[in-house]
Amino acid sequence: MSDRALILLLSVIVAIGSVATNIYIPALPAVRDYFGASVSEVQATFSVALVTFAVGMLFWGPFADRYGRRRALFTGIGLTAAGSLLCVFAESLAALIVGRAVLAFGTATALTVTRTIVSDLFPERMAQSFAQLAVVAVFASAAAPIVGGFLTAWLGWRSVFGALILTCVGVGWLAWSRLPETRPPTVSPPEVREMARVARGLLARPLYLSCTLQSSAAYAMFIVFISLAPYVMVKALGRPPTEYGLYYPFISIGYVLGNWALGRWASVGHQRLIGFGVALQLLAAAAALVFVAVGLRHPLWIFLPMAVLFFGQGLFMPHLTAIAVSLAPPHATGVGASTLGFLNQFASAICVQAMGVAGDDSALPMLAFVAGAALFQLAVLKLSPPMGAVGRTP
């Protein structure tokens, strides 16, 4: 298989996680109505899934280092399908939360293992490879809320999980027939104690910690925005539930353009691209907050600045991920990827559940959080060691 074909296959695999999240988001108001629950209670179906996704990120990287990339991937896809089936037949909000938790734990394998495979095969061009991986995933995540919105309107919220089961079957077959095993052969795979030692050592490194804090802040902005925006669209802006999916592509297009610009502007250097992207993110977040604060109510006053914000994230997120993963020793790249992913997801889960109490009467709390997180990331970047080089720890 050529490098281009392999990147395309990995892009399809990594899209499982974003599709599983985004196809469900337009159904959140319908789930709230079905179970007669509050926004905060329904947000638990989202935040608990983020926690189990975070645990999955911590689990699947070491699992893939010890037992192989293919075995980790197929086990995770099977759990994703099983969790989706539990959601299809859920008769209580608690049962739906359990199904979402199992589903999310399974989807974590896609992101973790694909990052590890890229590190195995393309160690010298990880940032560009991560950006290429994101293109298919971003387009899939853009289509998912549109599909989810119409499935919910036509067939009910359970149908989104049926669609996810079919997605797992298709992606699983492609991976089984095409994906090679890339784990370097070792006489003795790393033990759990060694993996924990590697993770502690990484977190003790200022550069890894900086990448973790920055990417966690950026990811929390994304997760809080996409989880609260459907409620805001319906309650605060008076829009139908299906309309959220029609505006979501602004986010995806912004991120894809940022990834494209990352490749075109590679000669500028990591440090300057990251700095520009983080500054642009803060400017866009502040603009959206001001637009809503002065009374502008059309969704474009929110989603256009968000497109610019995610353009900025498209510039710096692949670099932050590549720098962090490159700091792990070659025999434990899965540990580096999974530790980063765990902390990103866990921080986002806390933020999502905390913001669930803000209600859905106004977009201001949601946008104030985004602006605050962007300011926090800029502060971390200013205190960070230089980020201009990506190198492998021997």
In order of start, what are the domains of the chain with their CATH numbers? 3-178+192-383 (1.20.1250.20)
CA distance 37 to 241: 17
Note the pLDDT tens digit of each residue in 96-109: 999 999 999 999 88
What is the number of alpha carbons within 13 Å of residue 26 lying toward its C-beta? 31
CA distance 79 to 388: 39
Only one residue has tokens 């602006």, namely: 371
- The predicted structure's pLDDT at residue 292: 94
Please say whether the beta carbons of 317 and 215 come within 8 A: yes
What percent of the chain is modeled with pLDDT above 90? 42
Q: Which residues contact 25 (CB under 8 A, 6 or more apart)?
A: 145, 148, 226, 227, 230, 244
Residue 278: φ, ψ to 5°: -65, -40
The answer to which of 2-16, 53-67, 124-138, 345-359 has the lowest mean pLDDT is 124-138
Q: Which residues contact 95 (CB under 8 A, 6 or more apart)?
A: 86, 89
- Residues 326-337 have a mean pLDDT of 77
CA distance 221 to 352: 9
Tokens standing for residue 342? 């765990």
Judged by DSSP in three states, 332 sits in helix
- Tell the burial category of 123 from Cβ atoms under 10 Å away from its Cβ (0-12, 13-18, 19+): middle
CA distance 352 to 370: 12
- Tell the burial category of 72 from Cβ atoms under 10 Å away from its Cβ (0-12, 13-18, 19+): buried
Residue 20: φ, ψ to 5°: -60, -35
What is the number of alpha carbons within 13 Å of residue 45 lying toward its C-beta? 30
Please say whether the beta carbons of 90 and 102 come within 8 A: no
- Residues 95-123 have a mean pLDDT of 88
Closest-CA residue to 194 (of 334, 344, 390): 334
333-355 and 192-203 helices, crossing angle to 10°: 70
Note the pLDDT tens digit of each residue in 260-287: 898 788 778 788 999 999 999 999 999 9
Q: Is the pLDDT of residue 174 over 70?
A: yes
Average per-residue pLDDT for the chain = 87
Q: Is the pLDDT of residue 367 over 50?
A: yes
With cut-offs at 50, 70 and 90, classify the pLDDT of residue 293: very high
- Residues 370-374 have a mean pLDDT of 97
**Helix residue ranges per DSSP H, the chain:** 3-22, 28-35, 39-67, 69-88, 93-121, 126-155, 159-178, 192-203, 206-231, 243-247, 249-264, 270-293, 300-326, 333-355, 364-383
Closest-CA residue to 107 (of 68, 67, 55): 55
CA distance 289 to 351: 18
Residue 390: φ, ψ to 5°: -115, 120
End-to-end CA distance of the chain, in Å?
29
Tokens standing for residue 117? 């495979």
CA distance 289 to 282: 11
- The predicted structure's pLDDT at residue 391: 46
Amino acid at 45: T
Only one residue has tokens 């387009």, namely: 139
- The predicted structure's pLDDT at residue 47: 85
